[in-house]
């Protein structure tokens, strides 16, 4: 408990207020306090300042403990509320405790007041920490929901035996084309959509899951409209603090576009390789044609010279004509 607690005292008696403060100071506390004695002054005090605890009389001239408690509740405050009155009958005490008061004391017997204040302040701190933890958890769950419901990746959580689907994100309906309810009814129904050529490998990977092994694999699915999609599925075992396997969590990606891009890239590579081969063949044949043409030039040239040297009636003319004709065919 803080040495300087902020105490709102609801009492129409200055003398009784000094009595409460003296009891606190006697136990080592120096409270920051304010006394109010009406609904208006209490409402104003709750709005203007923060308080650690409320100590209220039960019956006042123009106000009451039950009214003070109601005002505090209407302001959404969860403060320790302790009744301290000259005399509290049992019926009133029960009514106030049911309404939300945390304890009650008679002003003539305050020995247990400070321990009660300390106890209720500790409880209030625990409630505050619990509320913070709940708010953090709620915000975390809300962020998780926003993420899983707005992206196309499929998040899933399933028990070890794949007999109970604990969570499946809306992406399943966009990727698989089947309702999520089908998986909640039968967690293994997604296997029905797996391509027959990939199903045996899928079933083998599910066996790995059941023995606590992570897995990472690709497979094809056939949607209800007949479209084939590629899926990259990864699963991870989750264990508790004792090392016991409790469930599996995972994410499935639709990698159809990536696979198509890879196929297109491979096709372009093959086309490029074919083009390079044809270019090499062209260069080779061009070189061969050039060299071959040089040889033919020599044959036709010397044959022409030889023809010029022969008489017109020389019988060797016929052979020269055959050589020149063959050279022309070879050049063509």
What does R_g of the chain's alpha carbons equal in angstroms? 47
Say what the pLDDT of residue 51 is: 92
Q: Find all residues with CB under 8 Å of 64, minimum gap 6, and list them.
A: 58
Per the CB < 8 A criterion, the answer to whether 275 and 187 are in contact is no
Which of 194, 228, 254 terminates a domain? The answer is 254
Q: Tell me the β-bridge partners of 254.
A: 231
Q: Tell me, yes or no, if the pTM score tops 0.75.
A: no
127 and 78, same structural domain? yes
- Number of Cβ within 10 Å of residue 187's Cβ equals 19
281 and 244, same structural domain? no
Structural domain count of the chain = 3
Does 280 reside within a domain? yes
- Number of Cβ within 10 Å of residue 113's Cβ equals 19
- Residues 84 and 79: their CA atoms lie apart, in Å, by 16
120 and 22, same structural domain? yes
Does 158 reside within a domain? yes
Say what the pLDDT of residue 90 is: 75
Say what the pLDDT of residue 121 is: 87
DSSP state of 216: E
Say what the pLDDT of residue 148 is: 67
Does 225 reside within a domain? yes
Per residue in 266-324, pLDDT (tens digit) is 777 777 787 778 888 878 887 888 788 888 888 888 888 888 888 888 888 888 888 98
Given a cut of 70, the residues of the chain with pLDDT beneath it are: 1, 146-148, 150-151, 263
126 and 207, same structural domain? no
170 and 98, same structural domain? no
Does 166 reside within a domain? yes
Does 179 reside within a domain? yes
- Number of Cβ within 10 Å of residue 68's Cβ equals 28
Q: Which residue range(s) make up the domain with 56?
A: 6-139
């Amino acid at each position: 408990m803080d040495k300087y607690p902020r105490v709102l005292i609801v009492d129409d008696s200055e003398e009784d207020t000094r009595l409460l403060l003296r009891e606190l100071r006697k136990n080592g506390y120096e409270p920051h306090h304010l006394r109010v004695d009406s609904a208006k002054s209490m409402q104003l005090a709750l709005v203007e300042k923060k308080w650690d605890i409320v100590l209220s009389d039960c019956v006042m001239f123009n106000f009451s403990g039950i009214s003070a408690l109601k005002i505090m509740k209407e302001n959404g405050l969860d403060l320790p509320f302790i009744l301290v009155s000259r005399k509290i009958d049992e019926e009133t005490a029960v009514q106030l405790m049911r309404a939300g008061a945390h304890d009650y004391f008679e002003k003539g017997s305050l020995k247990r007041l400070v321990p009660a204040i300390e106890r209720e302040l500790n409880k209030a701190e625990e409630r505050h920490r619990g509320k913070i933890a709940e708010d953090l958890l709620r915000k975390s769950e809300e962020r998780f929901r926003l993420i899983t419901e707005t992206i196309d990746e499929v998040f899933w959580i399933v028990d070890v035996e794949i007999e109970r689907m604990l969570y499946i994100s809306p992406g399943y309906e966009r990727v698989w084309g089947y309702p999520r309810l089908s998986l909640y009814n039968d967690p293994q129904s997604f296997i029905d959509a797996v391509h027959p050529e990939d199903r045996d490998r899928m079933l083998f990977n599910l066996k790995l899951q059941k023995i606590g092994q992570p897995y990472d694999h690709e497979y094809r699915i056939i949607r209800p409209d007949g479209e084939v999609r590629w899926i990259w599925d990864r699963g991870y075992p989750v264990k508790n603090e004792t090392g016991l396997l409790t469930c599996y969590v995972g994410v499935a990606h639709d990698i159809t576009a990536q696979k198509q891009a890879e196929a297109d890239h491979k096709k372009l590579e093959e086309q490029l390789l074919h083009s390079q081969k044809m270019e090499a063949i062209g260069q080779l044949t061009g070189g061969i044609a050039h060299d071959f043409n040089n040889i033919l030039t020599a044959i036709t040239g010397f044959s022409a010279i030889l023809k010029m040297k022969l008489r017109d009636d020389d019988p060797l003319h016929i052979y020269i004509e055959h050589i020149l004709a063959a050279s022309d065919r070879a050049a063509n």
